[in-house]
Amino acid sequence: MKKIIFTVAIAMMGIASQAQESKAAQQEKSIEEGVQNGQLNEKQATKLEKRKDNIAQDEAKAKEDGKVTKLEAAELNVRDKKLDKDIKRKKKNRVNETNP
């Protein structure tokens, strides 16, 4: 029974890690699309990319000891969601500025 619980726990950690990596790829794509279609300028994109990279670095640090605590996961999740909102907001604001 303990082996089953341990296996499920390991699988869930892998799924969460893949979800985070997928989220980062989605954010990267959104930023690139924003630059390509003029919704984001290079300065905005650079700042957003830096924030995305900082979140990834902090996640890697959290994983160094082999376990991401609930507090670490919650903090990373909050920062990740805020970045998502900021990407969308900046893209939308740029469109509104260029199309009054």
- Cβ burial of 45 (10 Å; 0-12, 13-18, 19+) is middle
> How confident is the model over 14-71, as pLDDT tens digits?
555 555 568 889 999 999 999 999 999 999 999 999 999 999 999 999 999 888 899 9
69-88 tens-digit pLDDT: 999 999 999 999 999 999 99
Runs of H (alpha helix) within 1-100? 2-36, 42-63, 70-98
